[in-house]
Amino acid sequence: MFKDNEKQASGYRVPLNKALDSLRYNEAGLVPAIARQHDSGEVLMMAWMNRAAIEETLSSGQVCYYSRSRAGLWRKGESSGQIQKLVSLRIDCDGDTLLLDVDQTGPACHTGRRDCFYWRVDGTDVELDKATLISPDQLYGKK
Amino acid sequence: MFKDNEKQASGYRVPLNKALDSLRYNEAGLVPAIARQHDSGEVLMMAWMNRAAIEETLSSGQVCYYSRSRAGLWRKGESSGQIQKLVSLRIDCDGDTLLLDVDQTGPACHTGRRDCFYWRVDGTDVELDKATLISPDQLYGKK
């Protein structure tokens, strides 16, 4: 579907079901999903979705990933309260990556930082360059 | 390394080699890399890197991915001329995803569009909502 229609003009439409059938899920049935704060352009995190997670996200308007470690749907914020409200969901040219524009409440990262990308290469080191907004203990109700 | 140091304060540093050794490469030796236009926040594309691609990108200052279809290093722009100049390279909390801030010349997408995320879910359809900047034929020298 994606390759076949890449020369279509802006405005071309395909049924959602057909697009979701045509996604190039990996051998575990997952596609990577990048979450970006819709207004600031901050890239918050990258996680994985299966078809059920995509469908739940679209129907509920709240982002649901697939947790590879827990092998099940992961309703972002279910334990921390830090939910992601879906603004838009996009699919890339190859149909193998999703881009979610979201409105993130508080920190996206389990460490209590706003986003997960807090190690920056600096010469021959990497530097941790972002502070926590909330401690993980507070985030997960151990306060 | 990443898990062990997630409670460190901002400013904490680790040798780059140690960080690259600790990346959680997948079974093919790859990590996903998200490319973002450094000043506008546009998410341009997602591709894959192995350790050699990361090292070449850092030493040359020009982004080099690993092409899964061609099974080799993919110096972005080598056939299209549309290079990505590296502004910064970040690693996420789990050490399994990279975020590249780049300065992209022209279109990032092989279709001639600025970025790869041109299919947007709209109700029960997906809509192609971005026009090409350059035709693919021009991009790949068939003009």
Q: 């450094």: which residue's tokens?
A: B38
pLDDT value at position B142? 62
pLDDT value at position A140? 80
Residues of chain B with pLDDT under 50: none
Averaged pLDDT of chain B: 95
Instruction: Count contacts between A and B (CB, < 8 Å).
Output: 158
pLDDT value at position B62? 97
Helix, strand counts (H, E) of chain B: 3, 9
List b or e across A122-141, with b for residues whose CB sees 16 or more CB atoms inside 10 angstroms. eeebbbbbbebbbebeebee
Tell me which of B14, B26, B45, B46 to substitute to probe the interface with A (most A C-beta atoms closer than 10 Å): B46
Facing A14 at nearest CB: one of B7, B43, B125? B125
Facing B93 at nearest CB: one of A58, A111, A127? A111
What is the pLDDT averaged over residues A44-64?
98
Distance from CA of A93 to the nearest CA of B (A): 5
* Phi, psi of A133, deg, nearest 5: -85, -35
pLDDT value at position B139? 82
Instruction: Please give the Cα distance from A51 to A66 (Å, whole number).
Output: 9
Facing B128 at nearest CB: one of A5, A32, A43? A5
Q: SS3 of A85, please?
A: strand
> Binning pLDDT at 50, 70 and 90, where does residue A79 land?
confident
pLDDT value at position B18? 97
Q: Where are the beta strands (DSSP E) in chain B?
A: 13-15, 31-37, 43-49, 64-67, 72-75, 84-91, 98-104, 119-122, 125-128
Q: SS3 of A23, please?
A: coil
The pLDDT tens digits for A92-115 are: 999 999 999 999 989 999 999 999
Q: What is the pTM of this model?
A: 0.96
Long-range contacts formed by A75-83: CB under 8 A, 24+ apart: A76/A47, A77/A105, A79/A140, A79/A141, A80/A107, A80/A110, A80/A139, A80/A140, A81/A105, A81/A106, A81/A139, A82/A106, A82/A107, A82/A108, A82/A139
Distance from CA of A57 to the nearest CA of B (A): 12
Query: Which amino acid makes up residue B141?
Result: G
ipTM of the predicted structure? 0.95
Query: Hey, are the CB atoms on B117 and A91 less than 8 Å from each other?
Result: yes
Q: SS3 of B20, please?
A: helix
Q: Beta strand pairing status for B64-67 and B125-128?
A: unpaired
Query: Hey, are the CB atoms on A125 and B11 less than 8 Å from each other?
Result: no
Contacts of B2 in chain A (CB under 8 A): 119
User: Which of A79, A86, A120 has the alpha carbon at shortest distance from A100?
Assistant: A86
Distance from CA of B14 to the nearest CA of A (A): 5
Instruction: Please give the Cα distance from A3 to A58 (Å, whole number).
Output: 24
Averaged pLDDT of chain A: 95
pLDDT at A37 over 80: yes
Query: Hey, are the CB atoms on A97 and B42 less than 8 Å from each other?
Result: no
Contacts of A34 in chain B (CB under 8 A): 34, 43, 46
pLDDT value at position B143? 52
Facing A93 at nearest CB: one of B7, B118, B120? B118
pLDDT at A76 over 80: yes
Q: Is the dihedral of CA A20, A26, A30, A31 positive or negative?
A: negative
pLDDT value at position A139? 82
Instruction: Please give the Cα distance from A109 to A80 (Å, whole number).
Output: 10
pLDDT at A142 over 80: no
Contacts of A131 in chain B (CB under 8 A): 9-10
Contacts of A60 in chain B (CB under 8 A): none
What is the pLDDT averaged over residues A43-55?
98
| Closest residue, chain B, to A10 (C-alpha) | B129
pLDDT at A143 over 60: no
